[in-house]
Amino acid sequence: MDTRRIPPAGDQFTVEKHQTAKCAWCRETFSCGKLVTVHEGHHENLVFFDGDRICRSCARRNGASY
């Protein structure tokens, strides 16, 4: 059984890891919760491919629904 070490509060060796990714269109880095995945039939142009992750402002600007 594998147990995970939970570091005490204020541990100097703990590094917070933020889940981030880049927008496929503007290439800016956002947290994963702020990105939208493009699905088949929900975009009206050939700018994005199915499965691309884009930010909400790029989705609105390019006509992709989310």
Task: Give the pLDDT mean for 36-63.
Answer: 82
More confident of the two residues 62 and 55: 55
| Alpha carbons 19 and 8: distance in angstroms, whole number | 22
Task: Give the pLDDT mean for 2-29.
Answer: 75
The number of distinct structural domains making up the chain is 1
Is residue 1, in this structure, part of any structural domain at all?
A: no
Q: Which residues contact 37 (CB under 8 A, 6 or more apart)?
A: 51, 52, 53
Is residue 49, in this structure, part of any structural domain at all?
A: yes
Tell me, what amino acid is at 18? H
Is residue 27, in this structure, part of any structural domain at all?
A: yes
Task: Give the pLDDT mean for 20-48.
Answer: 84
Is residue 14, in this structure, part of any structural domain at all?
A: no
Structural domain containing residue 47? 20-62
pLDDT at residue 4 is higher than 60: yes
Is residue 50, in this structure, part of any structural domain at all?
A: yes
